[in-house]
Homo-oligomer: A and B are copies of this chain.
Amino acid sequence: DIAELDHDRFARRGYPEAVYCEGKTAEQAGVIAAAVGERGARTLFTRADAGHVEAILAALPDAAHDATARLVAWPPDPPEPTGGTVLVVAAGTSDLPVAREALLVARHLGRTADLVVDVGIAGLHRILSRLDQLRAARAIVVVAGMDGALPGVVAGLVAAPVIAVPTSVGYGAAFEGLAPLLTMLNSCAPGVAVVNIDNGYGAGHMAAQIAAPVPG
């Protein structure tokens, strides 16, 4: 009676349920993990802090935990990849936790996924030297804080859709991610759509859907 998992989701949508741990007690996370184990359904636990992780691993000892991404996945191994490739690009090193969350989510949802880090626009040659890799992807996630300018630059160079993720990294007038969020929504290059601040999960999920194998 503290949670009513959406067990129908995989049948309905083809993607596993996910449990957002922030705002839940460790105890609640443990109760939910136990229910997941009983049911046997693939599940992701996002934004898990140390307390959540301990409680989840107590119930699902073989779950895979990634500390940088704050993600717990069960079962621990992603399914065999299908569909196109997802490429995750991070503007700076500080964007790594969010980028890694997107990367792992895309893999656990069944895609091949790669990661490129620290190729922000202050040194443009870094992203320009990766045009081939960018153009080989079916969906690109671009993670950036501060000015949030990288997704627009990438979108101007490729045919694939770009999912932009603003991060809460930056000086005061970044307003905890508001500045890059607005930049991305206002991209003057078309082909950019935006998810919530620091929401690597949402970006990885969306990219996995875009790169899904085409039916028939």
- List residues of A whose CB falls within 8 A of some B CB: 1-6, 8-9, 12-15, 18, 20, 22-24, 28, 32, 84, 91-94, 96, 117-126, 138, 145-149, 152-153, 155-161, 163, 166, 168-199, 201-203, 205-206, 209-210, 212, 214
Contact in complex: A6, B185 (CB < 8 Å): no
Q: Identify the 7 closest CB pairs spanning chains A and B, nearest first.
A: A172-B197, A23-B94, A6-B123, A193-B193, A149-B149, A122-B189, A171-B196
Chain B CB within 10 Å, residue with most, of A32, A120, A173, A205:
A173
Give the contacting residue for A188; candidates B9, B149, B172, B189; CB below 8 A.
Answer: B149
| Complex contacts, A3 vs chain B, CB 8 Å | 93, 117-118
Contact in complex: A193, B190 (CB < 8 Å): no
Nearest Cβ on chain B to A14's Cβ, whole angstroms: 5
